[in-house]
Amino acid sequence: MKLVEIKKPTFDVDISLTYATAENFTEKMVYKNAICYLHQDASLALLKAIEYAANIGYRLLIYDAFRPSEAQWVLWNHTPDPNFLANPKKGSPHSRGVAIDLTLIDLNGTPLEMGTGFDDFTTKSHHGNTEISKIAQQNRLTLLGIMTLAGWDFYRNEWWHYQLFNAREFALISDTDIPRSIMN
């Protein structure tokens, strides 16, 4: 396991780990420590995405990245919806360190309009949804283009979720296996 901590100055991104706050769909803190990790392979793809976004005047805001298996169980036990959450028995790409939830922000740090917020578990969150504004559709396509060009695959139900194409080839990682605990 080769996890890399995502932080400045190496990674020029904003980070606001939603599950390290109570401002998430569970309404409870899931992570005790707001530490952002990705597998080394995913971190390299993130660096490309950062560069591509910067080339067109945007930055990235990360909502979630590596999610310990223990955290996946907390989310699943709260809302066992396979349309928006991976069943922890099968394992989430997040729990392998090769998935990221993010959005585009402008150079002032303001998130672009995406039609829904992060973790909006409705069909309006689906890629290609035309019930959202044209601006939000364009912004989603811009994010999709940046992430795809950088080597990420998308999940059709969540405009914010990207993972490496070979995500299932990576091992699941527990909170006890990482350099600094997220859960405790």
User: Is residue 182 assigned to a domain?
Assistant: no
How many domains does the structure of the chain reveal? 1
Q: 25 lies in a domain?
A: yes
Is there a domain that residue 184 lies in? no
Q: What is the mean pLDDT of residues 75-95?
A: 95
Domain-located, residue 136: yes
How many Cα neighbours within 13 Å face the side chain of 88? 17
Which DSSP string corresponds to 76-97? Answer: HHH---TTTS--TTT--SGGGT
pLDDT above 90 (res 85): yes
88 lies in a domain? Answer: yes
Give this prediction's pTM: 0.96
Q: Does residue 77 lie in a domain region?
A: yes
**The domain that contains 77 carries what CATH number?**
3.30.1380.10
Within a domain: residue 183?
no
**For residue 111, is the peptide bond before it cis, meaning its omega torsion is within 30 degrees of 0?**
no
Please state, in angstroms and as integers, the Cα–Cα distance from residue 93 to each residue in 22, 23, 88, 96, following that order: 23, 22, 10, 5
- Residues 50 and 11: their CA atoms lie apart, in Å, by 8
pLDDT digits (tens, 9 = 90+) for 64-84: 999 999 999 999 999 999 999
Domain around 36: 3-177
**Assigned domain for 65 exists:** yes
Which of 5, 27, 70, 158 is labelled catalytic?
158
Q: What is the Cα–Cα distance from 137 to 141, expressed in whole angstroms?
A: 6
The 10s digit of each residue's pLDDT in 17-63 is 999 999 999 999 999 999 999 999 999 999 999 999 999 999 999 99
| Residue 158: active-site member | yes
pLDDT of residue 133: 98
